[in-house]
Amino acid sequence: MFNSFSELVQSRRSIRKYLDKSVDREKIEKCLEAARLAPSAENVQPWRFIVLDDPELLNNFTREAFSGIYFPTKFAKKAPVIVVLLAKLDLLANRIGKQIQGIHYYFIDVGIAGEHLVLQAHELGLATCWIGWFHPKKVRKFLKIPKSYKIVSLLSLGYPAEEKTEVTNRLPLEKISWFNGFKDQELS
C-alpha cells in the first residue's frame, strides 16, 4: 500500500467519519503491538490501553464520555473502536523526571506509543483520530480506572467513510527547525 515511511506519514489524516463495519481483532492487536514496541524514558513502558469494540458498551461509553460540553466529539460515537490510552503513574522514572526536569515523561511516552498505533492502523487501511476532548471523570468512572493511572487520550479507530487528501497548513521547515543554534524567524 505504501512504498515508504515518508509516503505513509504524508498520507495519514485524522478521520472523523467511519463505516459501520467492525474491525478484526487481529488488526487491532497488530496496532497494539506497534504501540508496545515504542521507546520510553528509562524503558518504563507506562502505556496501557483499553480497547472498546463491543457496540453496546461503546454506545454507553460514548454517551458518557462525550456528554455536556464534550458534545463536539460526538463524531466518535460512530467509530467501531475506541482506544483509551492510559499512563501508569507509579513508575519511578516518571516521578523523578517530573521533579528534576519539570516534565511529565509519561505524556511523551504514551504519545509515541499512540502514534505508533495510529501509523500502524493507517498502514492497515484503518483510520484514526486523536481525541483530547472528553469527560475524564466519567471515563474513569465508567471503566473503573484506578487513580494510579492517568487517562491521557482517546483514539477513535475504524474504516474510513471519508477520504481526506488535502494537506492542512503546515509551517515550512525553515520556520520550525534550525541547525547549530536558535533563530526565531518570527522575530526577524
Supply 155's cell numbers.
Answer: 483514539
- The answer to whether residue 53 sits within a structural domain is yes
Q: Give residue 118's pLDDT.
A: 98
Contact 58, 118 (CB under 8 A): no
Number of folded domains that form the chain: 1
Q: Is the pTM of this model over 0.95?
A: no
Domain encompassing residue 49: 5-176
Reading phi first (left if > 0) and then psi (alpha if -120 to 50, else beta), residue 126 is in: beta
Provide the CATH number for the domain around residue 27.
3.40.109.10
- The answer to whether residue 143 sits within a structural domain is yes
pLDDT band at 117 (very low <50, low <70, confident <90, very high): very high
CA–CA separation, 159 and 111 (whole Å): 22
- The answer to whether residue 181 sits within a structural domain is no
CA torsion angle 40 43 46 51 (round to 10) = 80
- The answer to whether residue 50 sits within a structural domain is yes
Q: What percent of the chain has pLDDT over 90?
A: 65
What's the average model confidence in pLDDT over 99-109? 82
Residue 188 has pLDDT above 60, yes or no: no
Reading phi first (left if > 0) and then psi (alpha if -120 to 50, else beta), residue 154 is in: beta
Q: Give residue 51's pLDDT.
A: 98
- The answer to whether residue 35 sits within a structural domain is yes
- The answer to whether residue 144 sits within a structural domain is yes
- The answer to whether residue 187 sits within a structural domain is no
